[in-house]
Amino acid sequence: MLARSDRIGLFGDEDLEAGGLADRARMVESSEQKLKRGTDRIQESIRVANETESVGAGILETLSGQRQTMLRARDNLGEMDEDMTRSRGILSTMSRRVTMHRLII
Q: End-to-end alpha-carbon separation of the chain, Å?
A: 145
Residues 6+ apart with CB under 8 A from 11: 17
* pLDDT score at 20: 73
Residues 61-71 have pLDDT tens digits of 999 999 999 99
Above pLDDT 70, what percent of the chain? Answer: 82
User: Do the beta carbons of residue 80 and residue 72 sit within 8 Å?
Assistant: no
Q: Is 42 exposed, middle or buried (0-12, 13-18, 19+ CB in 10 A)?
A: exposed
Would you give the distance in Å from CA 48 to the centre of its chain? 10
Q: Does 16 score more than 50 pLDDT?
A: no
> In this predicted structure, what is the pLDDT of residue 105?
80
What confidence score (pLDDT) does residue 19 get? 62
pTM: 0.53
Confidence tier at 25 by pLDDT (50, 70, 90) = confident
Q: Is the pLDDT of residue 51 over 60?
A: yes
The whole-number average pLDDT for the span 26-33 is 92
Any idea where the domains of the chain sit in the sequence? 2-76
